[in-house]
Amino acid sequence: MIENWTKEFIIQRLLSITLLVVLFILCFQVVQFFIVPALWAAILAYVTFPIYNFFHEKVRLSSNFSAAIMTVSISLIIGVPLVIGIFILQQEALSIISNLIYRVRVGYVDVPDSIKDLPILGQQVKDILWRINKNPEGTLEAFRLWVQSHLYYGKVALDVVFSSLAKLGMALMTLFFFYRDGTSLIRQIRQALRNIIGNRIDGYIDSVGSTTRAVVYGIGLTALAQAILAGIGYYFSGSPSPILLTILTFVVALIPFGTPFAWGAVSIWLLSQGHTAEGIGLALWGVLVISWVDNLIRPIVISGATKIPFIIIFIGVLGGLTAFGFVGLFIGPVVLAIGLAVWREWISQNKNEIFAPQEIVLNDNQNPLPVDERTENN
């Protein structure tokens, strides 16, 4: 066959490969912004696809109408808490800023005595408070100048917010097409991978599916349960804005072992404000109740459904978060699940060679010799 590789054939192949590489790069540049929204849409569609099948197959609605129902429902589930959270956050921020400006103008900016009595920072805090209360107008003017000099960071923050909202909108729009054409798309992807790798790809795809579903349910259920329990603790401990704190706790709880930083910070704040009983009570509630949810639901749902050690899932979640951002919470465990499936398949195919017992015989001096050396001696 090599003899048939003429100069024209080689040039034609090189040009074809070059054009394919250029086409791939151009396509990647075009869709780069939409990769993360598409991943989010794919995860949501895959996890909730049984509900779509219920409307499409059981209720016998059209694919377009079923996809529209699911897309609108998911949009409301995500959008309503997001809008409420943004509204509450805005109100709280305005309240805090207004209260702080009022305190500066009347010359009464103070912190709890527990902070002023700190061994190293206490005196510095006292000096800063003294300068602020001594010259309120100068303090406000300095604050205005500082804000004007840092407007660029505000623009960057707004760009990030608008970019995130645009990605969310794109993900919800893509979600409709994943519902409607998801089955056909999966078949095409499965066949394309089967052409490259072979029939073994079916096992890998099944592993990806079970891991994705288990990770989403495990992380989502755990975060929701912890947020609800934390919200109960915030309400009874008299924490400010318990609804906002519950929403923030849910976001933090998506990260493994991140929930203690949420309720722990609120507990410390209550203690610093002199609410000793409430702060200690919230801390005990967090240690004895909230933390146990993470130890029960997440390992049972994830490891029990996927037969994958929880440490693999844990590394995948944190590693994926570091490598891919927030969507890496779900991509990381899936990547490691595929790697583990490949490893198990390789071990299974070669177990006779890896785990085969080596026959040992004794020579004339009663020294054990492997079979190979016995054959040479004979």
Residues contacting residue 267 through CB under 8 Å, at least 6 positions apart: 279, 280, 282, 283, 286
pTM of this prediction? 0.67
**Buried b / exposed e across 151-162, counting CB within 10 Å, b at 16+?**
eeeeeeeeeeee
Which residues face 361 on adjacent strands? Answer: 369
pLDDT digits (tens, 9 = 90+) for 32-52: 888 888 888 888 888 888 899
Q: Identify which has the larger pLDDT, 118 or 377.
A: 118
Whether the per-residue pLDDT at 337 is higher than 80: the answer is no
Q: Provide DSSP, 267-335.
A: HHHHHHTT-HHHHHHHHHHIIIIIHHHHHHHHHHHHHHHH---HHHHHHHHHHHHHHH-TTHHHHHHHH
Q: What is the pLDDT of residue 65?
A: 92
pLDDT for 84 equals: 80
Residue where the block lists tokens 């969507």:
327
Q: What is the pLDDT of residue 176?
A: 92
Mean pLDDT across the chain: 79
Q: Which of 112-126, 204-218, 280-294, 320-334 has the highest mean pLDDT?
A: 280-294
Q: Is 188 exposed, middle or buried (0-12, 13-18, 19+ CB in 10 A)?
A: exposed
Hey, what are 327's tokens? Answer: 């969507």
**Residue 243: partners with Cβ closer than 8 Å, 6 or more residues away:** 84, 88, 231
User: pLDDT over 90 for what percent of the chain?
Assistant: 8
Q: Give mean pLDDT, residues 296-311.
A: 66
Beta-carbon contacts of 182 under 8 Å, excluding residues fewer than 6 positions away, are 45, 46, 49, 52
Name the token pair of 353.
Answer: 């060679």
Q: What are the angstrom distances between the C-alpha of 368 and each of 358, 362, 363?
A: 11, 5, 6
How high is the pLDDT of residue 162? Answer: 85
More confident: 175 or 105: 175
pLDDT of residue 73: 92
pLDDT value of residue 5? 64
* Per-residue model confidence as pLDDT tens digits over 8-27: 778 888 888 899 899 989 98
Pair of tokens at residue 104: 């500066």
Mean pLDDT of 47-60: 88
Give residue-wise pLDDT tens across range 217-264. Answer: 777 778 888 899 999 999 888 887 788 788 888 888 887 778 888 889
Whether pLDDT at 72 is above 90: yes
